[in-house]
Structure 1
Amino acid sequence: MTVTLKEVAARAGVSRSAVSRTFTEGASVSAKTRQKVEEAAEELGYRPSLIARSLATNRTKLIGLVANNFRNPVFLEVFDLFTQTLQRRGFRPLLVNLSTETDSEKSLEMLRQYRVDGIIIATSTLPPTFPNAFRKAGVPVIHAFGKIHTSSGVSIVGIDNRHCGEMAAQTLFDRGYRNIALLAGPQSATSTQDRLEGFLKRTSELGIEPVDVRFASEYSYASGKEAMATLLDERTVEALFCGDDLICMGAMDAAREYGLSIPEEIGFLGFNDMNMASWSAYDLTTIRQPVRDIILSSVELVVAMIEGSEEGNKNLLFPCSITERSSLKPLP
């Protein structure tokens, strides 16, 4: 049977409030009382109730991770880093899948029912109404992988996607490709919009024009393969920049089925540098997004906001880099 706080108080010869203070972080209790309570708790096998503690402190130690792209393996890395970092800081994760949810107020109400202390939104495909709704409700919120808006009061941790688009165009150009195309992620994603803008800006500066720009319906292997098969039926292309590694892998397999060899007849540049990108079947040259830095910084920032040591919005952008493999021709 579960040992109660009352039983520990009786065994230690102290009040129930003394037992409660002993197991409440930061509460005042004398060293003598603490020793008596801890000894009694050990003898009885008592473990304090986290639910009861949250009611007393008005803190649940829960942080919600909100995402809507759970089928992409990159999210496994995100979730692993998120949970490990939280647990080291004494917090617990609450995973929220918004893959079919579009109502920010409904989502906010669900999270408030769990009384989360803070929220990390880990996606670029949710509309700005989501983080803004949480902020207006007074819940500390960080938007990881988001787009910086000068009018937003929400902290953003991510990358400069426009620069990544420019980097992609320059990378293909430097390897001698001229008939290039962009196979981006969902058109509604802010990251897609920014990478497209940067890609078109740099190609214009280089004096070339992409032969095609297409958008995958989602960040998935199947959508990449489907979009690529259609493109190859309509266009002749030397190389593609794909807005996600998984999309790129689908596109690569579509090209192989079309009878093209990689990188001799067609080259591919991905984005993210997920673990699968290094598999020998793909050996994908890709733009590495520092997912680890983004998640660790997001957790540290939201915890600081909860604890009151960080106020106002703070935007952190991390640099990306090229991971060289064999899906593109080497530099001349």
Structure 2
Amino acid sequence: MSEPTNEGKPPTIAEVAARAGVSRAIASRALSAAPRPVSAEKRARVLKAADELNYHPNPLARSLTTKRLDLVAVVVNHIHDLSDLDIFDLLIEAIQRHGKQVILVRVGSVTGVADLLREGVSYHVDAALVFSDFADAATVRRMFRSDLVVMLNGLHDAKSPAVLGGDEGIAEAVSHAAENGVKTAALVTGRPSSLVERVRAEAYRAAFAETGIALVKLVQGDYSYESGYLAAGEIAEAGLPDAIFCTSDAMAMGVLDARRADFPQNRPTRFRLFGFDNLSMTNFDAYPISSIGYDKADYVAQMLRFLETPTRFEPSGGPVVLPTRFFPRLTG
């Protein structure tokens, strides 16, 4: 085996390949985090050689060769949006398993996206996943200089794929409430700037009309626990309805904590409570909130389909809509 001769200089992939007794291409595949074909025996030799030489891959140099950065931007409103956090572990693990890394970009407001562009703070990434309702697909494409932008919220268009939840679970939850004697309801929504939220709110209105439940109070929140807590007080001032529906579990948690006295042992005595997102926290005793959700693993898998094979996207095909279902728990 040949030894490296560039004393004082960082070792190269060619030197690793020479020490391992393999080609440079095989050494590169063995050191890649992506699932690329190479035998276990050769991979072990390459990893051993890299360790002996203290070799570390240079992502920037690799990107100049491959024209790929292996970076995926995840765009969020705020890091405390629980509905996003609940899937991020699944999402980041899946992205890293495919040899890419994540950068998190917080926009915070409608002007936040424009400010990033105006101030010249742009990033070059291979793809962007947009969870922010403040963002629109065209702006995000310009921001990241990438045509592969997958919209999970915000304003999608014909040039970017979108993955959204359906309204089956909403109909199930409202029917469940009606079957249990609910005649009046309040609805706590997120920001109307969100296209997803507007569609979701209309699905609730349609379900209320179908079941004969009167919508007596509409309160706008922002998906956060705090906005749900405040909404509970506003609703109580107008007179508590038979049920409160929230378009996020985080807001429903705020309602529950504001009205704990109405839920001895988490069971409703004055009104029923429903959330949305089916967060993992709703499976624990602290917040056993009846909720609506979809298969999170399937949700992540649909995003990965577009990242792996962008040609799957057909502009005329419309968004991918995942079926939702109702998850009854103590508060409902």
Return closer, same or farther for 1:9/1:322 CA change in 2, 3 Å cut-off: closer
Residues 178-221 of structure 1: CA deviation (Å, up to 9, x unaligned): 022212222332232112211222222333421111111x2222
Report how far residue 106 of structure 1 moved.
4.9
Correspondences of 1:4-43 after superposition (within 5 Å) = 4-5=11-12, 8=15, 23=28, 43=52
Q: Is the 8 A contact 1:239 1:267 kept in 2?
A: yes
| Residue 177 (structure 1) aligned with residue 154 (structure 2) | no
Structure 1: stretches of 5+ with no match in the other structure:
13-17, 26-33
Pick the aligned partner of 1:140 from 125, 143, 148: 148
Structure 2: tracts of 5 or more residues without a match: 1-7, 33-41
**Which of 166, 170, 193 is the aligned partner of 1:160?**
166
Residues 1-332 of structure 1 aligned to structure 2 (within 5 Å): 3-5=10-12, 8=15, 23=28, 43-100=52-109, 102=111, 104=113, 106-107=115-116, 113-123=122-132, 125-127=133-135, 130-135=136-141, 137-145=145-153, 152-161=158-167, 163-216=168-221, 218-257=222-261, 262-305=267-310, 309-313=311-315, 315-328=319-332
C-alpha contact 2:11 2:54 (8 A) present in aligned 1: no
**How far apart in 2 are the matches of 1:301 and 1:6?**
31
Q: Distance in 2 between matches of 1:290 and 1:2?
A: 50
TM-score (norm 1): 0.79
- Show CA shifts across 1:271-294 (max 9, x none): 111122122133111112333321
Give 4+ residue runs of structure 1 displaced > 6 Å after superposition.
9-12, 109-112
Instruction: Call closer, same or farther: CA 1:111–1:246 in 2, change over 3 Å.
Output: farther
Seq. identity, %: 24
Shift of 1:312: 3.4
RMSD: 3.4
Do 2:110 and 2:134's aligned partners in 1 also have CA atoms closer than 8 Å?
A: no
Contact 1:135 1:141 in 2 (8 A): yes
Shift of the alpha carbon at 1:268?
Answer: 0.5
Deviation at 1:175, TM superposition (A): 1.6
The amino acid that maps onto 1:8 is E
Partners of 2:18 and 2:208 lie apart in 1 by 76
Shift of 1:260: 6.3
Q: Sort the Cα spacing of 1:291 and 1:171 in 2 relative to 1 into closer, same or farther, 3 A.
A: same
> Letter of the aligned partner of 1:327 in structure 2?
T
Deviation at 1:45, TM superposition (A): 3.2
Asked if the contact 1:101–1:107 (Cα under 8 Å) also holds between the matched residues in 2, the reply is no
Whether the aligned pair in 1 keeps the contact of 2:185 and 2:215 (CA below 8 Å) is yes
Distance, in Å, in 2 between the alignment partners of 1:84 and 1:158 is 21
Residue by residue over 1:71-130, the C-alpha shift from the partner in whole angstroms, topping out at 9 and shown as x without a partner, is: 12332222211210011111111111112463545546899854211111123x224xx3
Q: Which amino acid aligns with 1:86?
A: I
**Equivalences, count:** 305
- Kept in 2, the 8 Å contact 1:184–1:214? The answer is yes
Q: Distance in 1 between matches of 2:110 and 2:189?
A: 23
Instruction: Confirm or deny: 8 A CA contact 2:185 2:241 kept in the other structure.
Output: yes
CA distance in 2 between counterparts of 1:298 and 1:6 reads 33
